[in-house]
Amino acid sequence: MKNFLVHNDEIKQQMCKEAGINSVEDLFKQIPQSVRMKELNLPDALSEMDTQKIIKSIAKENNSDYAIFAGGGIYNKFIPACISQVASRFEFNTAYTPYQPEISQGTLQVMYEFQTMICRLTGMDISNATVYDGGTACAESILMACRISKKYKVCILNSINPEYKQVIETYTYSQHIKVDWVDEIPSDTKEYACVLVQTPDYYGEIIEPIKSEGCLLVVCCDISSLAILKPPSEYGADIVVGDIQTLGIPMNYGGPTAGFMACKEKFMRQLPGRLAGRTLDKDGNQAFCLTIQTREQHIKREKATSNICSNQALIGLCATLYLSVMGEKGFKQASYLSSKNAHSLSEKLAKKGIPTLNRNFYNEFVIKVENADKTLAKLKENNILGGIKIDEDKILVAATEMNSESEIEAYVSTI
């Protein structure tokens, strides 16, 4: 309650006088008495200390001590404690929204470093400084591909995250872009602006798409998987997108997160979102600024590369801090442990007669059970969030570096 001032009777009377009324009650006189509440039936006021005690006792009723094996786009990842502390430092404060050129130098530098890290991981030439989330990044990449190719038809594999699919359908419907949802990429793709493939896909399967002549290749990827898997640039990706939730961002009941977009240099003028650049000021000192953007980006809807102005600068900051703190070695180790735990769980389940349906996966896979609802309910009774129901007999299971050997054993013995 910093800088909070109580409105005493004298201040209230002064405010009423300025508003041309006699009392606060006059503010509500046009509301019929029949629809007004007689009283709120609130308990007596408590001191701050007593209030804290009551809130803590209520909070203890929450059961949050679960072993988490659910994924589907949001993952339980290790987050170094220093991230939130560093992210709150004054260097990153700005009086402006993070898509305006007057941003503080601290925030601009973080954007620049974030872009550099994304380029190193994806192997692409240029990256933006985040968009709203992974689904938005996919949809924006489609619009970008259509602007580049002047074609308004795209091909997308059905194995993409269903939430991303909903966002894509909303975007493409309003832009009159035809989408072909397919199970396999057709041999002839010249009629399309782009082919969009998610790898690992929603079901955890690692796919290595083949670059087709005559259309762009858009790859949606798990950014953490790139610590141990080859970058999309090595199999011909033109645009790479995804979500950065796995880079030190809490699960937060499913959001907010942030998305990234990276591309080849020749497409940078069509890349939406904010891009930070490094330069020198008039005194020869290092300086950062927004770059490669036109005025129309923010003031003319019909000429803007994107009409979404939500730049997740704070989440991008946390992701940059995460990669900096973890370092190359720590980042690889976390990704390796995630994959190791997932494969260990899959192997132990197979020995119990529960097969994994994937051929090649990173840290997420689909298992076949007799009854998905009963299986998940049984696991939850034993404080295990066992995964996401795919259909009546299939469950999507994920593992991260946060899953201990004892949790894996408990999952196998309970199921």
Whether the ω angle into residue 231 lies within 30 degrees of 0, i.e. cis, is: no
pLDDT in tens, 346-397: 999 999 999 999 999 999 999 999 999 999 999 999 999 999 999 999 999 9
- Length in residues, the chain: 415
Instruction: Say what the pLDDT of residue 212 is.
Output: 84
Q: What pLDDT score does 4 carry?
A: 63
Q: Could you name the CATH architecture of 82-320?
A: 3-Layer(aba) Sandwich (3.40)
CA dihedral 8, 12, 13, 15 (to 10 degrees): 140
Does 102 score more than 90 pLDDT?
A: no
- Rg (alpha carbons) of the chain, rounded to whole number: 26
Sheet strands side by side (includes 364-368): 364-368, 394-398, 388-391
pLDDT digits (tens, 9 = 90+) for 75-95: 999 999 999 999 888 878 776
The continuous run of DSSP H or E covering 138 comes out as: helix 134-149
Residues near 245 by beta carbon (within 8 Å), at least 6 away in sequence? 73, 74, 75, 77, 134, 251, 257, 258
Identify any residues that bridge with 78 across adjacent strands, giving them in sequence order: none
Measure the CA angle with vertex 99, ends 96 and 104; round to 5°. 45
Q: Quick one: 401 exposed, middle or buried, by C-beta within 10 A (0-12, 13-18, 19+)?
A: buried
In a 10 Å sphere around its CB, with 0-12 CB exposed, 13-18 middle and 19+ buried, how is residue 169 labelled?
Answer: middle
pLDDT at 101 over 70: no
Q: What is the mean pLDDT of the chain?
A: 91
- Residue whose entry in the numeric block shows the structure tokens 């080849």: 264
Sheet hosting strand 153-157, strand order edge to edge: 126-127, 259-263, 239-243, 216-221, 194-199, 153-157, 178-182
pLDDT at 291 (0 to 100): 85
Residue 413 pLDDT > 80, yes or no? Answer: yes
Strand partners, 217: 195
- What residue spans define the domains of the chain? 67-77+327-414, 82-320
User: For 67-77+327-414, CATH number?
Assistant: 3.90.1150.10
Helices (H) and strands (E) in the chain, counts: 10, 14
Burial of 153 (0-12, 13-18, 19+ CB in 10 A): middle
Q: Which amino acid is at 221?
A: C
Going from the C-alpha of 183 to that of each of 180, 204, 258, the distances in angstroms are 10, 15, 27
Encode pLDDT of 12-30 as tens digits. 899 999 999 999 888 888 8
pLDDT of 1 above 50: no
Question: CB-hemisphere CA count at 13 Å for 106?
Answer: 14
- The two tokens of residue 13 are 């009377």
Any bridge partners for residue 356, and if so which? 367
Mean pLDDT of 257-271: 94
pLDDT of residue 340: 97
pLDDT in tens, 337-352: 999 999 999 999 999 9
* pLDDT score recorded for residue 363: 97
Q: Are 305 and 270 in contact (CB under 8 A)?
A: yes
Residue appearing with tokens 């004892």 = 406
pLDDT confidence band for 293 (50 / 70 / 90): low
Burial class (CB in 10 A: 0-12, 13-18, 19+), 165: buried
With bands split at pLDDT 50, 70 and 90, how would you rate the model's confidence at 306? confident
What pLDDT does 98 receive? 61
Give the predicted TM-score (pTM) of the model: 0.85
One-character DSSP codes across 365-392: EEEE-S-HHHHHHHHHHTTEE--EEEET
Please tell me whether residue 299 adopts helix, strand or coil conformation.
helix
Name 396's bridge partners.
366, 388
* Percent of the chain surpassing pLDDT 70: 93
**pLDDT tens-place string over residues 164-217:** 999 999 999 989 999 999 999 998 999 999 999 999 999 999 998 888 888 999
Residue 3: is its pLDDT beyond 80?
no
Q: Running DSSP on this structure, what letter comes out for residue 318?
A: H
Tens of pLDDT along 232-249? 999 999 999 999 999 999
Residue scoring higher pLDDT (334 or 253): 334
pLDDT digits (tens, 9 = 90+) for 122-173: 999 999 998 999 999 999 999 999 999 999 999 999 999 999 999 999 999 9
- DSSP code at position 301: G
Using the predicted structure, report yes or no on whether residue 297 has a pLDDT greater than 60: no
Answer yes or no: are the C-beta atoms of 398 and 70 closer than 8 Å. yes
